[in-house]
Structure 1
Amino acid sequence: MTQTSALDVARRVIRLEQEGLEQMAAGLDDGFATIVAMLTGLKGRVICAGVGKSGHVARKIAATLASTGTPSQFVHPTEASHGDLGMITPDDAVLALSKSGETRELGDIMAYCRRFGTPLIGMTCGADSALAKASDHLLLVPDAPEACAETRAPTTSTTLMMALGDALAVALLEARGFTARDFKTYHPGGALGAALATVGDLMHGGEELPVIGDDARMSEALIEISAKSLGCVGICNGEGALSGMITDGDLRRHMGPDLLDQPVTEVMTRDPKTVSPATLAADALRQMTAGNVKITQLFALENGKPVGLLHIHDLLRAGVK
């Protein structure tokens, strides 16, 4: 196969799958909204099940649902017939995937749902299939041509199922008002965890917080800066509110023989940039690096009072970009 013919095949596959996606989007109806409403009020979990390539897609849908606030679990239909049906509770709903809708291994799960009144959602291309007829709710996938026409290997069909599962997860996410901060709870590690970290997750607080009163002298400020090793000190008024900060840069700008005797209010930068502990760490990094003057520390305030200090090194260590 030449390079040109390989590219032609790739473009043909992508176009076929794109056409299937457009057909599925156009065919969605109120049944989808009914399923979202039912699952939004579900007390238990969404049990996803499928065999073969549909099983792989079902696993992915279960993982996506679980990570976006909808408790979910994959149950293999064959294992279900040998005891794993006990994983399905009366409060659950089952999402069963099968392109044809005639997957024999799903039979015991379908019978179990009928027996115990567990809602069954069928995702299939077979509108008149056994799965479609047994389902309480149907997610009908267009019977679009597979990208590999000669073998009919699952390609377009699995793409459509995957996309429909994503659509279901996002619709449920938005119906529940699930936020980025909620999402972070399920993604504490890696690049995604770093992107969703807040200032409160990374800041220095408590005994680590470098602060002194606004009646102090620079000699006290230098001691506090050295003791806390964060390159700055916050200056608080009598009510504990932050009125300014002194950084290493301020020290260099005011260097002189009488520096240690000066009041901190003569050296400090007034009304410095600050953040809330709830601010996303990525937003704090942008605030530090925006404009011509770059800063390396931000105080986190609650009701005007410092509760933490964020250093740019904390952001870099956490992988925040």
Structure 2
Amino acid sequence: MNTSDNGSSNVYVPGASEPVDVIDSARCTLAVEIDALKALSDRLDRTFVRAVDILLACPGRVVVSGIGKSGHIARKIAATLASTGTPAFFVHAAEAVHGDLGMITANDVLVAISYSGTTAELLTIVPVIKRLGAPLIAITGNADSELAQLADVHLDGSVPQEACPLNLAPTASTTTALALGDALAVACLEARGFGPEDFARSHPGGALGRRLLTHVSDVMRTGRDLPIVQANSSVTDALEEITRKGMGMTAVLDGDRVIGIFTDGDLRRLIEREGDIRNLTVIAGMTRNPLSIGPDALATEAAAVMDENRKNQLLVQDAAGTLVGALHTHDLMAAKVL
């Protein structure tokens, strides 16, 4: 199989009578699936509302089940629900009939996915679910099927045709089922008032989690790593402290009170202004009223302050004005906040 070198989208398959225009094929696939989703949107009604009500009222977990391609879709829907505030997990229908059914309790809700509505494994476990008293939401393409008839709520995922030109491979139907699952998850998310911070708690290892869960106190330098000199210290002493601590600055204190910050930039400006700085104290070149932030602030807030003021360092002071730490842009980068 090869493509033409003249920019054509035709693909030539050995033994085939005609080349295949893969771009045209892709567009036809997308058009069929888009039409299926539009039809799905148009027929949403109160049954969808009832399904959402059942999910919101669930005191246990939402169990999503299917087999084959529907099983893959069910697994993804369960993951989406779980990450957006609706506790959920996936149970493979074939495994359920061989013991995993014990994972489902009367407090749970079963979401069963089968386009035909006649999947034997699902129909085997449904009577057990009904005896438990757990609600059943079915997503099928056949409202007259046994699974649809047994369900407390049936969501119609039918499609006029599959995107597969043979009308055999589940394509448009699986897209529709997946979209229905996403719609349920998002509707529940919005009804619960699930916000970015809630999402971050479900994704602590992701970029959003780091941005919304990492506080200044988590990444700031403290104790012996914190560069500090007193106001009567010489510029030479301040330079030694800057070098030892590797932050490109040192805080300047009068007792326990912060009165300034002395940076590499302050040092250069002092040399340009005074020339000989050997007999000067750090107070002669420090920047007064330095920028600071609280330890409970988000690290992203600190990054915004530093960026807005074009600073690489930031002091951290508590509500009483006591110096408790310091931040460098490198600290934020190491924490993957930047």
For the aligned pair, the TM-score class normalised by the smaller chain equals 0.7 to 0.9
The offset of 1:120, in angstroms, is 0.9
CA distance in 2, matches of 1:22, 1:122: 20
Query: What is the aligned partner in structure 1 of residue 119 from structure 2?
Result: 103
- Output the CA distance in 2 between the equivalents of 1:91 and 1:228: 57
Q: Following the alignment from structure 2 to structure 1, what is the Cα–Cα distance between the partners of residues 315 and 46?
A: 50
Distance 1:149 1:88 in 2: 39
Tell me what 1:181 maps to: 197
Is structure 2 residue 287 aligned with structure 1 residue 268?
Answer: yes
Q: 1:155–1:243: structure 2 CA closer, same or farther, 3 Å change rule?
A: farther
Gaps of at least 5 residues in structure 1 are none
Matches of 2:156 and 2:224, distance apart in 1: 58
**Does 2:40 align with 1:24?**
yes
Q: Are the structure 2 counterparts of residues 207 and 118 from structure 1 closer, same or farther at C-alpha, using a change threshold of 3 Å?
A: same
Q: Which amino acid aligns with 1:267?
A: M
Deviation at 1:223, TM superposition (A): 5.2
TM-score, reference length from structure 2: 0.80
Matched, 1:230 2:236: no
Conserved 8 A contact 1:217-1:260:
no
Superposed CA deviations along residues 91-132 of structure 1, whole A, max 9, x for unmatched, are 111111111211111013211221010011111221122121
**Within 2, Cα distance between the matches of 1:162 and 1:51?**
14
| 1:94 corresponds to | 110
Instruction: State the structure with more CA Rg.
Output: 2
Paired residues of 2:64 and 2:89 also in contact (CA < 8 A): yes
CA distance in 1, matches of 2:51, 2:279: 70
User: Which of 262, 267, 270 is matched with 1:254 structurally?
Assistant: 270
Q: Does residue 181 of structure 2 align to residue 165 of structure 1? A: yes
Over the aligned positions, Cα root-mean-square deviation in angstroms equals: 3.1
- Summarize deviations over 1:4-41 as a string: whole Å, max 9, x none: 51101111111111121122222222332333333233
Contact kept, 8 Å, 1:198 with 1:279, in 2: the verdict is yes
Distance 1:249 1:33, change over 3 A: farther
Which sections of structure 2, spanning at least 5 residues, go unmatched? 11-20
Q: Deviations over 1:131-160 (max 9, x none)?
A: 211111222224232101314211111111
Partner in structure 1 of residue 81 of structure 2: 65
Please give the residue correspondences for 1:1-321 in structure 2 after superposition, counting only pairs within 5 Å: 3-4=9-10, 5-189=21-205, 191=207, 193-194=209-210, 196=212, 198-200=214-216, 203-207=219-223, 210=226, 212=228, 215-219=231-235, 221-222=238-239, 224-235=241-252, 244-255=260-271, 256-258=275-277, 261-262=280-281, 264=283, 267-272=286-291, 274=293, 277-279=296-298, 281=300, 284-290=302-308, 294-303=310-319, 306-321=323-338
